[in-house]
């Protein structure tokens, strides 16, 4: 050896990152309307051998009888608790034996009933799905059990600061005559009054194939799905069904722009909600700007709100802001928890950060939001259940099935000026503010902020 140091090979050059290629949300492989009025849409997704099938039935919660509010959610929970053909135990055994996951629920605009099943058992799954929709039994003992469970759940939600804040927020933001001002799953008085007869009556009037849709996604291959659906859900009839009319956006309360404190003495944290009306996805200026606005303001750990309240101040683990479209109208929400001793200062900072007179978006912020929202879309819709879920969401909102693609294209074209103008036309001068926490610590400070009348209510 001559004492010279061994030479090392030069590191290879770092590969460049190419811009993403074109992408589009998949179009359906078939889209037909059956004789009974049920629309059937299919997506063949190779490699996805667990099939997702979802039935969407448009349904307005305002159609619930006022004295039985909560009946829709209870009815949905009871669909797999026995049918005219099978007892509750038999139905559960069939689901388990064939590897079928069954779920049902309601939101502000629809009843959604969903199954996930291996392809080989799809025929049985569709039979059971048709039974649950067309001929549920609603056993008296199951009605009592689930009614009691829902009442207990309401009490548990009262103990949760985010749930309690959300309940107070809708009651403060929306006019008291609007169904939107009360919980989707009902209030204690409404739920307690629900009877088996009330559930049966609501089902007969509000659940049927006319205007409903079935979306099936997965590795369907050469499966004769048309025949399977025709002999199951295609035979579904509901002679007393009253298809739901398209809802209108709820009216805000006249005094929505105020501060409500839900008093929880000795709380070490405060749950904060700032809310106002927002658009649905039929927004006249297009939906594309709104998710980007939400992302920049409070949609990620790097957003404006967390940059101040978490990174600079250390008041919170994270606060999120964004738009939540409903079937008609929507919400713009900013939510999260802060240290109790920093409540008033946090609210002041939030109102300043969200002040439409102060918000100006930068091109760098917009590009970061666009890159995230548009760039992650191909990954978000790579599975059968995600494709089915997106298609169902579009159908529920009355949007074309290519909306996801066209909206992504529009998202990539938004500008900082467009976002600034859009936000200025949306955000209010004063917000609906709800805080769950120890009122003694911060109520007077909030009054001094002059952001609206301050009311303290019991937990």
Pairwise CA distance, residues 140 & 3, whole Å = 92
Half-sphere exposure of 186 (CA within 13 A, CB side): 28
Contacts of 381 (CB under 8 A, 6+ apart): 25, 26, 387, 390, 404
Mind listing the pLDDT tens digit of every residue in the chain (459 residues)?
455 666 667 778 888 777 777 899 999 999 999 999 999 999 999 999 999 999 999 999 999 999 999 999 999 999 999 999 999 999 999 999 999 999 999 999 999 999 999 999 999 999 999 999 999 999 999 999 999 999 999 999 999 999 999 999 999 999 999 999 999 999 999 999 999 999 999 999 999 999 999 999 999 999 999 999 999 999 999 999 999 988 899 999 999 999 999 999 999 999 999 999 999 999 999 999 999 999 999 998 889 999 999 999 999 999 999 999 999 999 999 999 999 999 999 999 999 999 999 999 999 999 999 999 999 999 999 999 999 999 999 999 999 999 999 999 999 999 999 999 999 999 999 999 999 999 999 999 999 999 999 999 998
What is 130-141 written as a DSSP string? Answer: HHHHH-B---HH
Query: For the chain, what is the radius of gyration of the CA atoms?
Result: 25
- pLDDT number for residue 6: 63
Please give the torsion angle defined by the CA atoms of residues 190, 191, 193 and 198, in that order, rounded to the nearest 10 degrees. 100
**Tokens linked to 51:** 């099939």
- 103-108 long-range contacts, CB within 8 A, separation 24+: 104/76, 104/77, 104/79, 104/80, 104/132, 105/73, 105/76, 105/77, 106/59, 106/61, 106/72, 106/73, 106/76, 106/184, 107/184, 107/327, 108/60, 108/61, 108/180, 108/184, 108/247, 108/326, 108/327
Q: Side by side, which strands form the sheet with 319-325?
A: 319-325, 330-339, 269-278, 432-437, 259-263, 454-458
What is the CB neighbour count within 10 angstroms for residue 350? 24
Is the C-alpha dihedral spanning 288, 294, 300, 301 positive or negative?
positive
Q: Delineate the domains of the chain, giving CATH numbers in brackets.
A: 30-235 (3.30.830.10), 259-458 (3.30.830.10)
Residue 127: helix, strand or coil by DSSP? helix
Q: What pLDDT sits at residue 79?
A: 98
Distances from the Cα of 331 to the Cα of 37, 166, 281, 359, 390, angstroms: 32, 12, 11, 19, 20
Q: At what angle do helices 403-412 and 363-375 cross, to 10 degrees?
A: 150
pLDDT of residue 254: 96
Q: Which helix (DSSP H) or strand (DSSP E) does residue 202 occupy?
A: helix 196-206
The CA-to-CA distance between both ends of the chain, in Å, stands at: 83
Q: Are 126 and 228 in contact (CB under 8 A)?
A: yes
| pTM metric for this prediction | 0.91
Calpha distance 162→185 (Å, rounded): 16
Using the Cα atoms of residue 195, residue 199, residue 200 and residue 204 in order, give the sign of their dihedral. positive
Identify any residues that bridge with 334 across adjacent strands, giving them in sequence order: 274, 321
Tokens 């659906």 locate to 229
How is residue 127 written in tokens? 């039979």
Nearest to 257 by CA among 431, 426, 434: 431
Q: How many CA atoms within 13 Å lie on the side-chain side of 245?
A: 5
Which pLDDT score, from 0 to 100, does residue 8 have? 67
Q: Angle formed by the axes of helices 122-134 and 88-97, to 10°? A: 160
Contact 51, 220 (CB under 8 A): yes
The residues, any chain, with a CB within 8 Å of residue 364's CB and separated by 6 or more, are: none
State the helix-helix crossing angle for 71-78 and 140-159, rounded to 10 degrees: 120
Distance CA 340, CA 346 (A): 10
Position 22 scores a pLDDT of 85
pLDDT at residue 19 in the model: 72
Query: Residue holding tokens 């606005």?
Result: 293
d(CA 85, CA 87): 7
Alpha-carbon gap, residue 118 to 98, rounded angstroms: 8
Between the alpha carbon of residue 202 and those of residues 12, 72, 194, 219, 388, the distances in Å are 68, 7, 11, 36, 27
């Amino acid at each position: 050896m001559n004492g010279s140091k061994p030479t090392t090979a030069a590191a290879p050059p770092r590969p460049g990152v190419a811009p993403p290629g074109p992408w589009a949300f998949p179009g359906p492989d078939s889209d037909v309307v059956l004789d009974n009025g049920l629309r059937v849409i299919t997506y063949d997704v190779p490699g996805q051998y667990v099939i997702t099938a979802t039935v969407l039935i448009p349904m307005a919660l305002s159609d619930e009888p006022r004295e039985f509010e909560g009946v829709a959610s209870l009815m949905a929970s009871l669909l797999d608790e026995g049918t005219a053909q099978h007892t509750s135990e038999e139905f559960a055994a069939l689901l388990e034996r064939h590897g079928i996951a069954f779920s049902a629920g309601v939101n502000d605009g629809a009843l959604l009933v969903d199954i996930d099943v291996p392809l080989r058992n799809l025929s049985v799954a569709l039979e059971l799905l048709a039974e649950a929709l067309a001929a549920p039994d609603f056993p008296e003992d199951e009605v009592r059990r689930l009614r009691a469970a829902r009442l207990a759940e309401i009490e548990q939600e009262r103990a949760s600061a985010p749930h309690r804040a959300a309940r107070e927020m809708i009651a403060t933001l929306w006019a008291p005559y609007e169904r939107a001002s009360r919980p989707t799953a009902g209030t204690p008085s409404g739920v307690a009054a629900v009877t088996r007869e009330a559930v049966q009556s609501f089902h007969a009037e509000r659940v049927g194939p006319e205007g409903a849709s079935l979306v099936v996604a997965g590795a369907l291959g050469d499966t004769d799905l048309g025949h399977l659906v025709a002999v199951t859900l295609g035979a579904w009839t509901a002679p007393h069904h009253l298809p739901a009319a398209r809802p209108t956006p709820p009216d805000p309360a006249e005094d929505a722009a105020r501060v409500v404190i839900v008093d929880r003495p000795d709380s070490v944290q405060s749950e904060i909600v700032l809310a106002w009306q927002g658009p649905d996805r039929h927004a006249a200026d297009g939906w594309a700007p709104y998710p980007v606005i939400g992302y920049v303001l409070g949609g990620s750990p790097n957003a404006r709100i967390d940059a101040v309240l978490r990174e600079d101040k250390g008041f919170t683990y994270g606060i999120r802001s964004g738009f939540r479209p409903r079937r008609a109208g929507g919400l713009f929400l900013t939510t999260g928890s802060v240290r109790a001793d920093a409540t008033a200062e946090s609210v002041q900072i939030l109102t300043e950060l969200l002040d439409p007179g102060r918000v100006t978006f930068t091109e760098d912020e917009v590009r970061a939001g666009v890159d995230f929202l548009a760039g992650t879309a191909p990954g978000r819709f790579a599975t059968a259940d995600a494709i089915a879920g997106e298609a169902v969401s579009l159908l529920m909102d009355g949007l074309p099935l290519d909306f996801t693609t066209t909206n992504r294209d529009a998202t990539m074209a938004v500008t900082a000026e467009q976002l600034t103008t859009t936000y200025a036309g949306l955000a209010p001068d004063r917000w609906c503010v709800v805080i769950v926490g120890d009122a003694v610590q911060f109520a007077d400070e909030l009054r001094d902020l002059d952001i609206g009348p301050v009311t303290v209510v019991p937990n």
